[in-house]
Every structure is written in structure tokens, then in C-alpha cells.
Amino acid sequence: MNKKKIAAVIPARMASSRFPGKPLVDILGLPMIEHVRRRALLSEIFNDVYVATCDNEIKETVERYGGKAVMTADTHQRCTDRIEEAAEKLDVDIVVIISGDEPLIDPGPFDLVVRPIVRDKKAECVNLVSVISEEGDLNNTDVVKAVLNNRGYIMYYSRLPVPYMRVKNNCPAYRQTGISAFTKTFLRQYSSLPHTTMEIAESIDFLRILEHGYPIYSVIYPQRTVAVDRESDVEEVEKILLQDPAQQAFYQKIR
């Protein structure tokens, strides 16, 4: 399966509007970006793991821990465009984007988002989504919700609760996770597309793909995922790392 060259690329920047400096926030003794990078290294699917950043402070931190960083411009409005610039500097066929603000990420699904691209030449973009099990996540505008069709393709993303439950039924709700896979060719095409109305309004990168008529295939992950969007999220992440047995096991592997 791993004949193609596959790299994990983790976007990170200090100038987050909601939480400035968050890639380097300390989480139980390690910078958050290092939690994410080390979890990516637990996967056997990647030929290499990189951090894409426009900040020397992040680059120096990653390299101090023995990691690899790719410098990008500081003008990108979307992290996917930052990833594309980094990918152009790499000898790679498939890029797995791993959000730098998900320190609890499970390495298992990395293989799941790559598999459709390897098996189907028509698949060029795959996004991992997880089931929303808590009402707080559904109403949280920091959580991007995804609507899927019956064939597993993404229909829309929104920060508002979608679908709206006018009639209560068993319709599942999903959140976009920070894991996705692109062919390098399609990543280049994405970056060449004009920004779109909904992309800007919702501040969601992947709406650019949908608005231009390209498909995004989804892979469903059954567990809740937690991202650090604001400083207040750090406490929840540390609590999970200390109390959840599965997370404790991952933490012991990367320390």
C-alpha cells in the first residue's frame, strides 16, 4: 500500500486570532506542536513528518526536539495554502494534513484517510470526520460541522449546528477533524482556485473545494476528537491525558 511517497505535514503559526502562540503552549511538559508531531511519528504509513510554519520560533523548537520544519510565507490566509507551499518543496505524492492543535490525535486514522486515495485514482481529497456526541460540541462555533451524503461525500461544512433538527430523529451529526489527505497534484490545484464566498464567510478552507465543484470523500471516526482552539481548552486536554487510559498509553509512548 505504501508504494507512493506519503508525508505528514502539520501547519502551525504563532498568530492565531483565538489563541496567540498556541503551538508552543506547554501541555504536561511538551509544546503542543511536539505532542502532535510525535503522535504522527507513531504511524508507520509516513515516509516523513514535517511541520510547516512561517515562524522561526516554531521551527527552532521543532528542530531542537529533532524534528523537521519547512518554512513558508507569512501571508497565507488559509492553512491549506501553507501546506501546499510546503509540499512543493517535498518529494511526495500524498500529503496528510494533521492539524497542529489536536494534541490528542489518534495515529490510527492516518491510514484510513490515505487508503481511498491509494485505491481509487479518482479520490484526490479525503477528510476524517468524527461523530458529535455532546450537545456542547454541536453548538460550539469553534467546532466545524460536516454534512455527508449517502455515498460518504461531504455536502457542506458549517460552524453552525447542521443539520438543523426541526424533526427529532436519529440523524447523526459530524465534526470535521484536523486530519485530511490530498494528492500533491490536487493540493496544487486547490491553492490555484480563487477564494470563495462561503469559504470566507464560514472561515473554512475546504468550502473552497466544494464551491468549485470538487468532491471531498469522508472517513468516519467513531470517537470524539478534541482540539485546542482557545486557552481554556488546554485544561480539558491535560485532564484527558491524565485520566483516559488510551490517551495515557499514547502519552507514555511520546514522552
165-197: pLDDT as tens digits: 766 777 889 999 999 999 999 999 999 999 999
Q: 34-43, pLDDT tens digit by residue?
A: 999 999 999 9
Q: What is the pLDDT of residue 121?
A: 86
**Three-class secondary structure assignment of the chain:** CCCCCEEEEEEECCCCCCCCCHHHCEECCEEHHHHHHHHHHCCCCCCEEEEEECCHHHHHHHHHCCCCEEECCCCCCCHHHHHHHHHCCCCCCEEEEECCCCCCCCCCHHHHHHHHHHHCCCCCEEEEEEECCCHHHHHCCCCCEEEECCCCEEEEEECCCCCCCCCCCCCCCEEEEEEEEEEHHHHHHHHHCCCCHHHHHHCCCCHHHHHCCCCCEEEEECCCCCCCCCCCHHHHHHHHHHHCHHHHHHHHHHC
Summary mean pLDDT of the chain: 93
49-58, 104-113, 168-177: segment of lowest average pLDDT: 168-177
pLDDT at residue 167, rounded to an integer: 66
pLDDT exceeds cutoff 90 at 219: yes
The answer to whether residue 2 scores a pLDDT higher than 70 is no
- Give the residue-averaged pLDDT of 108-137: 92
Kindly tell me if the per-residue pLDDT of 133 is higher than 90: no
Query: pLDDT at position 1, please?
Result: 47
Please give the average per-residue pLDDT across 80-106, as a whole number.
95
Q: What is the pLDDT of residue 193?
A: 97
Q: What pLDDT score does 216 carry?
A: 98
* Residue 251 pLDDT class (50, 70, 90 cuts): very high
Q: Where residue 222 falls among pLDDT bands split at 50, 70, 90?
A: confident
Residue with the larger pLDDT of the pair 220 and 15: 220
Model confidence at 144, pLDDT cuts 50, 70, 90, reads: very high
Q: Tell me what pLDDT residue 170 has.
A: 75
pLDDT at res. 84: 96
